[in-house]
Every structure is written in structure tokens, then in C-alpha cells.
Chains A and B, each alone.
Chain A
Amino acid sequence: GQQVQQSPASLVLQEGENAELQCNFSTSLNSMQWFYQRPGGSLVSLFYNPSGTKHSGRLTSTTVIKERRSSLHISSSQTTDSGTYLCALESYGSSGNKLIFGIGTLLSVKP
């Protein structure tokens, strides 16, 4: 089965509302990263967060290792937040580390 599961699959907000995106993983966590994919397609790294809580502007990432989950909180959403949010789990392999991505949460913020 899929090692990284994201929820919800999609989310529609009115501008100003908050959002909580979830990422659950079935394997042991080495590190977790969150990415934002613009509607045009390019990806931008938001957080590297193996544990605990990190803040960046209106974004907060919280990773709870024991519960094998990570969340991304977006406060006071703006239309420019629209896009896809991807989480990625770092996995150790025989030929090095790699990231295993979730399918993503598609966020649409309406004006």
C-alpha cells in the first residue's frame, strides 16, 4: 500500500479561512518535507520538519513521530495559496536516501 497518504484530497476555502492538511505515513519516519506546487506546475519547498512544530509566516508544520503524521496549517488563507500541497517522507535505501511523495491536497481559495 501507499506509504504516504494525504488528506483531504481537495479543499475549497473562502479567503480568510484556515486550512489543516494532513499527511500520514505507514513507515518509520526519518524526515518529512512539505512542498507547494503552483498551478503552473513547479514545486517549492515549504518545510523540512522531522519532528515538532515549525512556523513560516502564515504556515505551521507539526510532525508527531509516534503517531506517524504531519500536518500543515494555513492561517488566514489567500487566493494566492491556491495550488497543490505535497508531503514527502524520507526513506533510507540501499543506494541512498530518497523522498516518497504523497498524491497531494489540492487547495482552492475563493475570493
Chain B
Amino acid sequence: EAAVTQSPRSKVAVTGGKVTLSCHQTNNHDYMYWYRQDTGHGLRLIHYSYVADSTEKGDIPDGYKASRPSQENFSLILELASLSQTAVYFCASSEGGARANERLFFGHGTKLSVL
């Protein structure tokens, strides 16, 4: 079974501080994604990457940066955390893009609270 590991599982950050969320996959997948989930919203795509050293903007990239230093690792960076970024963040990977027959494998999520 594919494995996507996120760290930390939860985090409390202060407004204006820097937050880094990490994701590691052992699936040898090309694609990795960062989503956020808020009450009343479905999962929304923040950034994604299909190759190391390259990232792409998703639907809601403002306030976030992403880094893909290797195929296995994908980080989400909040340079100046804000209250509105309180949410649960999910990392996912897939062998190809979000196309036919490409299953997404999700991590357990990171609950971020910005105070």
C-alpha cells in the first residue's frame, strides 16, 4: 500500500510566524499535492508538483509557498502565518496527474491552528 507521511500531525503557530509542513512519500510517485480542508469547504488545492525542483500553483496559492527538493519530499511553507490559514492540510501523491485511473494517496493530515 502506498505511504504518504505528513509531519507534524498538529501545530499551533503564532500570527506572523513561519510554518513549514512536511510530506514524504515512499510510492515513487511523480505527482504530489497540498490541499487544505475547512469546515464548509471541500478540499482545495494549494500547490502541486510533478517533478523534483518544480512546483505549480493550485487554486488557492496566495500566502503559501511550496518546495519539492526531491521526488519523495514536498513541503508547504507559510512565511507569515495568518489566522485565516487555520485549517487541516493534506498532502497526497499520485503516479500520474489527476487523470483517469490515477488514484490519489493521502497522508493523515496536519491540523494547523494559527493564534
A-facing mask of B40-78, CB < 8 A → 1, else 0? 111111001010000011110000000000000000000
**Cα(A35)–Cα(B98), bound, Å:** 14
A contact face: mostly helix, strand, loop, or mixed: strand
Q: Does B84 interact with chain A (Cβ within 8 Å)?
A: no
Q: Could you tell me if A42 and B108 are in contact, using CB atoms closer than 8 angstroms?
A: yes
Q: Could you tell me if B101 and A98 are in contact, using CB atoms closer than 8 angstroms?
A: no
Given contacts A40-B108, A41-B109, A43-B106, contact A100 B101 (CB under 8 A): no
Count A-B pairs with CB separation below 8 Å: 68
**Cα(A95)–Cα(B106), bound, Å:** 21
**Cα(A61)–Cα(B59), bound, Å:** 28
Which residues of chain A (14-60) have a CB below 8 Å from chain B? 30-31, 33, 35, 40-45, 48, 50
Q: Which residues of A contact B35 (CB under 8 A)?
A: 101
Q: Could you tell me if B48 and A98 are in contact, using CB atoms closer than 8 angstroms?
A: yes
A4, A95, A98 — most chain B CB neighbours (10 Å): A98
B42, B48, B100 — most chain A CB neighbours (10 Å): B42
B-facing mask of A81-111, CB < 8 A → 1, else 0? 0000010101000011111111110000000
Q: Does B103 interact with chain A (Cβ within 8 Å)?
A: yes
Which residue of the partner chain, among A45, A86, A96, contacts B103 with CB atoms under 8 Å? Answer: A45
Q: Could you tell me if B97 and A97 are in contact, using CB atoms closer than 8 angstroms?
A: yes
Q: Could you tell me if A42 and B42 are in contact, using CB atoms closer than 8 angstroms?
A: no
Q: Could you tell me if A90 and B103 are in contact, using CB atoms closer than 8 angstroms?
A: no
Q: Which residues of B contact A45 (CB under 8 A)?
A: 103-105
Q: Could you tell me if B90 and A100 are in contact, using CB atoms closer than 8 angstroms?
A: no
Q: How far is the CB of B25 from chain A (nearest CB, A)?
A: 14
Which 9 pairs from chain A and chain B are nearest by CB? A101-B42, A43-B106, A41-B109, A101-B43, A97-B98, A42-B108, A45-B103, A99-B98, A97-B97
Q: Contact residues of A with B, CB < 8 Å?
A: 4, 30-31, 33, 35, 40-45, 48, 50, 86, 88, 90, 95-104
